Chain A
Amino acid sequence: MISPSSATLRAAEDLALVVGGEFVSPDADGAIAVLPENTQQISVIFRYATKNGLTVDPRGGGTKQRWGSGAVPDVRLRLTRLDRVLDHPWQDLTCTVQAGCTWASLQQNLAKHGQFVALDPLFSDRATVGGIIATNDSGSLRQRYGSLRDLVIGMTLVLPDGTIARTGGRVVKNVAGYDLSKLMTGSMGTLAVITEANFRLHALPQYSRTFTVTASDAIRLAPLLAAVRGSHLLVQSLQLRRNKTEAHLDICLISHTAAQQDALLAGMARDKGLALQEASAAPCFKRETLLIDGSTFIRVSTLPTNTCAFADELQRVAPRIDIASISQGIGLHDVSLRGPGGEITDAINQIRSKYSTTVTVLQPGPAVDATAFTIPAAVMSVMRAIKHNFDPGGILGPGKFFASA
């Protein structure tokens, strides 16, 4: 337990006047946890922090708090009290939800009308809307429905100077002004705090069947993966799981039973000398197993055609460490590495230098020393200019993206 500095203790007293004493408390790392009730209170807290030079880091469910390797802030803004689904005009296929609402709770609400936000992020029972957007998480549904940038249609934001701004709207088609929702998605909470989000929704699929094909190497599954990608099958998810000993290709079809696409798929597998087995979707598409305590979690992008070859390569990069990967057919790989920190660092550096990939180290394990993001200098300078215009004092999301911010 680190005790807060005298400055943060004074801040705790002052902020208690804004949100109420019971909603301010010290965290174990020395930060002051503040739990605002609404957007207006967040604006007041920000104006206070800016005036007093206090750093602020937003937090939802805390499931990805370490992503992006930020520093400990003076004030940890916990959004868990903003947890309501504000509106669900289901006939318009949209919804408005507060940022602190957990993903599971949002989906339960939407399911009452047979709808959902077509995204399966990690830890959906605890992760919140705001945190999922800020980290731009996505899972196996990305194959069919795209990522958050295709699903978020509007937001309410609070900027570090206390400005409350709305962007986008509540209609799915809208090109009025800059789409700041896209800028916020994946910005790791470094530009503004998201307090509300509007989503476009999809109908829950009426039919769904999941099949798995198993092989000793991923490369043996590559012809089938390519064939499925180029086919007319209604594929919801197309995912490759790889560990030390074997590889599985999971395919979730959502066509009407009468379309008999399962038979088509079985035929395609047979043509490639592979056997299809019906599987239960839930365990196949669960990625949480990659984030066991102490593991290093990285996300790698490759071209879709390199999905299988890269998953095999991962196993050869560092034979002494334990590597497991879950890859989407589009070429997005979630990878867990377990072993000595030095060897994991080497492995990450090798992946970065040897293959045409982008690697993001989302959660480094103990003694792992690797840059979280590698961003080209020209892009970095635009990012820095945006950061400066949104957060000139550098109070938000300390340490993330900008080492010196």
Chain B
Amino acid sequence: MATPLTQAVLSELRRIVGERGLITAANQLQTYECDGLTAFRVPPIAVLLPESTEQVQKILRVCHRERIPFVARGSGTGLSGGALPTEGSVVLSLSRMNRILNIDIPNQQITVQPGVINSNVTAAVAPQGYFYAPDPSSQTVCSIGGNVAENAGGAHCLKYGFTVTHVLEMTVVLPDGEIVTLGSKLPNTPGYDLAGVFIGSEGTLGVATEMTLRIMRKPETVQVILAAFDTISSAAQSVSDVIASGQLPAAMEIMDRLSIEAAELSVHPNYPACEALLLIELDGPQAEVDIQMSVVIDICKKNGAWETRLAVDENARFLVWKGRKAAFAAAGRLSPNYIVQDGVIPRTALPVVLEKLNAMAAAENLRVTNVFHAGDGNLHPIVLYDRNHHGEEERAIDLSLRILDVCVEAGGSITGEHGVGREKQCSMSYMFADPDLETMQRVRRAFDPFNLSNPEKLFPTPRLCGERSRGAYAPHPVEASGIAEVF
């Protein structure tokens, strides 16, 4: 199906990005054949490394004229296959567009290129006492462009919101090569909220080449409490009680016994050994946080917490979070292979859904470990399996997708922050009815009538979903090499 580029098109592209901006050698293309969803691999026909909005525009004009599909790529850390090349597509790697263009502290804004790494945004404004709020677990390696495509969240979006809350303005190259400014550095933009629909569209509506982000004042103080429980239900009840008490913590996370053990094996955060660990972070003015923390501790104790441990200084907090953010990578210590899922349920459904998940796992004779962004009901069940055991991978994939079905049945969603991509596109028809998906397609066709921008993603297609070919998780190259353990 993949038609190679003609020599004429190839030299036209080479003229745009220069010799070192074009990759066509098969061994180098391999680097781009997958993202964090490594079970799917498709080599692109070429990789382009543009260095400016104008170069992206010229590339997309060629793609549009020649009807060549394209896939934009940041750091390739996505877990749903969003940056997986489509057969016959070129990849636009935006990693060379990695400059911070402007910092405007009085207006609390920063303008960056899409290849800038998430944590470098905070690093750039930290000296002035500011931070960039969205903090996906991969924040030390993932790019802002990828965050925009996926509407990335993170542990702290309970209080601070998702990427979409923090992007003010974007320069976007549309699939026909037109350059538009979506959103505004000013608070209101007249007309449709195109920025709102573009963010989280998983690269299917165009390529963002510049973005102005909102930065926030670093809180005066941050405190984290670790509370150890005998059951997940009592930890979950504490989360509901904290919410009911009117508090809005910066983060509330639950880890189960297996994931605590895995974290201990990999980064030694020195967590209490328990069935359920609840981690609550409060931030704000010192006096306010002190008062809230005493309420939170009372709630945890009332629900049976047998140890509450306060991490006040920066080092202690860093270690606590390091353990939590390493949870996915650490699953590799428990099992040769694993699949990370990303379902969302109404917070109150947590105990019921967990019971179901455990029963389903037991019936398949598979182990499932759980870490949750409990405050917003975002579950990350990790299905552990061994690919070398005959049929186990298929059962693991099937289980992980049935877990999503359970989330939808509980009134939730198939993805809270990883995106649909290739991995979950067949689950979309379980969450949405045909008219819902058809309505989304109307937007898609308005931006991209020829279906060139990251095609065959997000929406279910008869070709892919007829076969029910859904993906498994295998360690990403950066995880395998050990880099991922830092996040």
Residues of A within 8 A of B (CB): 89-94, 114, 136, 142, 146, 149-150, 157, 159, 163-167, 169-180, 182-183, 185-187, 191, 202-204, 206, 226, 229-234, 255-256, 258-261, 299, 301-305, 328, 330-332, 357-358, 360, 373-376, 378-383, 385-386, 388-390, 401
The yes or no answer to B151 lying at the interface (CB within 8 A) is yes
Binds A, one of B14-22, B37-45, B115-123, B412-420: B412-420
Nearest-Cβ distance from residue B424 to partner chain A, whole angstroms: 8
> Could you list 29 examples of A-B contacts with CB < 8 Å?
A92-B348, A136-B193, A142-B187, A146-B161, A164-B435, A165-B439, A170-B411, A173-B344, A174-B413, A176-B424, A176-B431, A177-B440, A180-B439, A234-B285, A255-B287, A256-B288, A258-B291, A259-B285, A259-B291, A261-B285, A304-B107, A304-B108, A357-B186, A358-B190, A360-B188, A373-B190, A378-B178, A382-B174, A382-B447
Does the CB pair B413–A401 fall under 8 Å? no
Does the CB pair A183–B373 fall under 8 Å? no
The yes or no answer to B4 lying at the interface (CB within 8 A) is no
Residues of B within 8 A of A (CB): 106-108, 150-151, 153, 157, 161-162, 164-165, 174, 178-182, 184-194, 196-197, 199-201, 217, 219-220, 240, 243-244, 246-248, 284-288, 291, 344-348, 373, 376-378, 411-420, 424, 428, 431-433, 435-440, 442-447, 449, 458
Of chain A, the residue at the smallest CB distance from B441 is: A389
Does the CB pair B446–A171 fall under 8 Å? no
15 extra interface residue pairs, beta carbon distance < 8 Å, beyond A183-B196, A358-B188 = A91-B244, A91-B347, A149-B196, A170-B412, A173-B377, A177-B436, A180-B439, A180-B443, A183-B194, A255-B287, A261-B285, A301-B188, A302-B186, A358-B184, A383-B194
In the assembled complex, which residues on chain A have CB atoms less than 8 Å from the CB atom of B432?
A: 166, 176-177
Rounded to whole angstroms, the CA-CA distance of A53 and B438 in the bound complex is 23
Q: For chains A and B in complex, what number of residue pairs have CB atoms within 8 angstroms?
A: 247
In the assembled complex, which residues on chain B have CB atoms less than 8 Å from the CB atom of A258?
A: 287, 291
Nearest-Cβ distance from residue B423 to partner chain A, whole angstroms: 12
Nearest-Cβ distance from residue B178 to partner chain A, whole angstroms: 6
In the assembled complex, which residues on chain A have CB atoms less than 8 Å from the CB atom of B181?
A: 376, 378-379
Of chain A, the residue at the smallest CB distance from B195 is: A182
Nearest-Cβ distance from residue B71 to partner chain A, whole angstroms: 18
Nearest-Cβ distance from residue B212 to partner chain A, whole angstroms: 11
Does the CB pair B439–A175 fall under 8 Å? no
Nearest-Cβ distance from residue B190 to partner chain A, whole angstroms: 4
Knowing A358-B186, A386-B446, the reply to whether A234 touches B284 (Cβ < 8 A) is yes
In the assembled complex, which residues on chain A have CB atoms less than 8 Å from the CB atom of B411?
A: 169-171
In the assembled complex, which residues on chain A have CB atoms less than 8 Å from the CB atom of B440?
A: 167, 177-178, 180
Of chain B, the residue at the smallest CB distance from A204 is: B246
Does the CB pair B107–A167 fall under 8 Å? no
In the assembled complex, which residues on chain B have CB atoms less than 8 Å from the CB atom of A150?
A: 161, 165
Of chain B, the residue at the smallest CB distance from A169 is: B413
Does the CB pair A175–B415 fall under 8 Å? yes
Nearest-Cβ distance from residue B37 to partner chain A, whole angstroms: 15
Does the CB pair B243–A182 fall under 8 Å? no
Rounded to whole angstroms, the CA-CA distance of A177 and B373 in the bound complex is 21
